[in-house]
Structure 1
Amino acid sequence: MTSPFSNTNSLRDWRDDMRVAIALLTRIPMTHPDGPAPSYLARALRVFPLVGALIGAIVGLVYLALHGLGVPAPVGAALALGASALVTGALHEDGLADVGDGFGGGHTKAKKLDIMRDSRLGTYGSVTLVVTFATKLFAIASLPVVAVLPVLVTAHALGRAAIPALSVKLPAARKDGLGARVGAPEQSVAVTAAMIALVVALLMLPLREALLSVLLAVAAAAAIGALAMRQIGGQTGDVLGAAEQAVEVAVLVACASRFAA
């Protein structure tokens, strides 16, 4: 396995990976100087937790700004989640809804994949989105104000670390999807992403909460991965988005329980 700290990983490589990852995960205009070639896409997964931390910081700062203006906590949390959707284009929420519709409404692998590709939102997807949004909203609103920013940074960083991990561990469920065209990233990419996410968690949270968040993130990602293997025999972009959302929810609920106790 290639070391994530190999000399071949120059500062320019990391900078380019950040640009590609920001372009993929957010609405922020960003292009790679040589175009988003598959090799760049696969390698860029290693910095997904850094982009996740940036998104979490934006969401947290929006919440804190609203709190400073006297906006009630639940309203501030809802608007902060809205800001998150604006920044990301609701990328992972869309994947989560598609997984809800596909896994809930399809009876065969082919039918599930067809439903997941359909842009229309069904009942299962709607309920999944509502439950997820409500859970995140009340978890954020119940956090002490001083904990909101570090918890959100951690949740978003760990959520994005699930994407390279499942991309390495699970085969592509489709032969014609983006994941199949790009190919699985090297294991070192997933290891690097996991290490970055771990460092973010340890820097942002007290040790017990950080380790609990990491353990729950692993459990949530593994649960989505196991479900995807059973339902469609692998991963798709929608499955990766659902895993990211599952990790976010797990971390937010755990931290809300810990800090509110």
Structure 2
Amino acid sequence: MREINILFSSILYFTRLSLPFKVEYRIENQQLALTWFPLIGAVVGGLGALVFWLVNLYLPHSVAVITSLAASVLITGGFHEDGFADVCDAFGGGYNKDQRLKIMKDSRVGAYALIGVVLLFAMKIALLIEIQTLWVPVILITSHVLSRWSTLIISWGWSYARPTGDSKSRDTSHPISWFRFIWATILGFSPLLLFESWWALVTIPVVIIFSMLAGTWFHKRIGGYTGDCLGAVQQVNEVLVMVSLLIVLGH
């Protein structure tokens, strides 16, 4: 029952979805929510894929892609996109650790954030438009799942930059056990079984290498990571998974 509570808590924490029953809030359970982060990706990606399929029945492929991305943002409340935007502002306009951490806490949107988010969504739209309609739902699910798993690498390999925590990852900044990490890894890699070619596995080293490089980069500039950093890693890896799978399907 405790594990079910952790799962439901992670749904409420990482999405805007509501449940038809009350979930007891426990801070120690929220610390373990990253165990189910890949499954949350399956939920978000699956709902986005469903929206794409329904819209594509009546409207062009490009319209279905944009509507699907909009649905994903609504489901999460732009949770990770906001982190990506804050990182763009912080590392684009900050000149030292304190400035960068301060900018990430600022709710205002700067030029770096605006430019970054526009380019981010432009890249997603361009990639998904180039993918065959049949494969778009599969790639949506895979990219959401695998990119969320990649954030575990950051939380395992580096320490939290704010000693007092922040609103986005205060309760998830503690490493999970090996057993939970392995289970999350099984969940994170499982969508790759949907592809016929073993070349789809190339996405695994891609997200691992980028995550490790990002973790090292964050550590050098702010002494660790924040919740915004995790959101940025998730968003970039989501795009990298799409790029990798587009190349795989093209060959």
Normalized against structure 1, the TM-score is what?
Answer: 0.88
Residue 62 of structure 1 aligns to which amino acid in structure 2?
A: V
Residue 125 of structure 2 aligns to which amino acid in structure 1?
A: L
Gaps of 5+ in 2: none
1:122 aligns with 2:113: no
CA-to-aligned-CA distance 1:50-87 (integer Å, 9 cap, x gap)? 11011111111111111111x22222211111111000
What does 1:11-22 align with in structure 2 at a 5 Å threshold?
Answer: 12-22=1-11
Shift of 1:23: 0.7
What does 1:13-52 align with in structure 2 at a 5 Å threshold?
Answer: 13-30=2-19, 33-37=23-27, 39-52=28-41
CA-to-aligned-CA distance 1:165-207 (integer Å, 9 cap, x gap)? 21121100001224455541224233321221112322x2234
Moved more, 242-251 or 164-173: 164-173
Q: Which residue pairs with 1:174 in the alignment?
A: 162
Shift of 1:208: 2.4
Q: Which residue pairs with 1:9 in the alignment?
A: none
CA-to-aligned-CA distance 1:198-224 (integer Å, 9 cap, x gap)? 12322x223424301222121222232
SS in 2 for 1:218: helix
Residue 188 of structure 2 aligns to which amino acid in structure 1?
A: A
- Checking the alignment, whether the CA contact within 8 Å between 2:61 and 2:133 is kept in structure 1 is no
1:81 aligns with 2:65: no
Cα distance in 1 for residues equivalent to 2:241 and 2:208: 10
Cα distance in 1 for residues equivalent to 2:226 and 2:220: 13
Gaps of 5+ in 1: 1-11
What does 1:147-226 align with in structure 2 at a 5 Å threshold?
Answer: 147-178=135-166, 179-180=169-170, 182-188=172-178, 189-202=180-193, 204-226=194-216
What does 1:136-155 align with in structure 2 at a 5 Å threshold?
Answer: 136-155=124-143
Residue 211 of structure 2 aligns to which amino acid in structure 1?
A: A
Normalized against structure 2, the TM-score is what?
Answer: 0.92
Number of aligned residues: 247
1:96 aligns with 2:87: no
- Checking the alignment, whether the CA contact within 8 Å between 1:102 and 1:115 is kept in structure 2 is yes
SS in 2 for 1:114: helix
CA-to-aligned-CA distance 1:217-255 (integer Å, 9 cap, x gap)? 212222321221122111100000001101100001111
Q: Percent identity?
A: 31
Which runs of 4 or more aligned residues in structure 1 lie more than 6 Å from their structure 2 counterparts after TM superposition? none
SS in 1 for 2:175: coil
Q: Which residue pairs with 2:60 in the alignment?
A: 72
Cα distance in 2 for residues equivalent to 1:129 and 1:115: 16
- Checking the alignment, whether the CA contact within 8 Å between 1:60 and 1:152 is kept in structure 2 is yes
